[in-house]
Amino acid sequence: MEKSIFRFPNVFCAVTSMGEIALFGEDFAHRQIIDALVRRIAADHGVAVRMEWRNATGGHGQVVKEFERYIADLRRQPGSRPDLIVVTTDANCVGFQERAKQFDDLEVPAPMVRAIPDPHIERWLLLDSAAFKSALGRGCDAPDLKCERNRYKQLLRQAVRDAGIEPSLGGVEFAGDIVGAMDLARAARADKSFQKFAEELARLLRQ
C-alpha cells in the first residue's frame, strides 16, 4: 500500500498546538473546502489549529484588497502575527503562476500557503470518487479539466443529485465529509493545484 506523503508517521504521537491560522478566500465554497482541508491535514500531522477567517466574500479582488490590508496591519503591529496564513483564490482560467504573482512581491511577515485551485475549487471535491461515495453514498465521475465559468459548480451539484440528494448549497456543504474520507495522495496525483497546496501546507505543519 502506498504511504501518503501527507499522513503523520506516528498516530500515537502527542498532538501539538500551532496557534492561529489566518485565512482568506473568495466565497463560501472556499471557506468550506479550505477549512476542511486545513483541519484534515493538520489532524493527520498531529497539529491542533485555531483558524480565523479574515475574508470569505467578494471574489478575487476583495481577497487581494483584504490580504494587502492585513499584511500592512501586521507590519504596524508585529506582536500580533499568526503562525500561518492561507490565502485562496481560483486560477479561473488565468493560471496558477499568474495568480501566484499577485502575492510574490508582498513582504509577508509570517509563513504563507497559497491555495490556487485550477480552474475552480469545486473541482477538488470531485477528485476522489471513493471519498465522494463514502460521504454521499455514490461515487462521482473523474472531473475533466476545462476552463468554463461555473462548470465545476454544476458538475458538483449534479454529482450530489445523482447520489439522491438535493444540495441546498451547491454541494459544498458536504466538503467536511468528503475531505474527511479523501485519500489526499490520490487527489494530489489527480490535480497539480491541489498537490501544490496540500504539500506546501503539510511541509509547514511538519516544521
Dihedral sign, Cα of residue 38, residue 87, residue 22, residue 61: negative
Q: Given this model, what pLDDT does residue 79 score?
A: 76
The domain locations on the chain are 16-123+172-180+191-206
Q: Given this model, what pLDDT does residue 15 score?
A: 60
- Confidence (pTM): 0.91
Q: Given this model, what pLDDT does residue 113 score?
A: 96
Q: Does the domain spanning 16-123+172-180+191-206 belong to CATH 3.40.50.2300?
A: yes
Q: Given this model, what pLDDT does residue 11 score?
A: 39
CA–CA distance, 180 with 50 (Å, rounded to integer)? 18
CB atoms near residue 15 (< 10 Å): 11
The residues of the chain scoring below 70 in pLDDT are 1-18
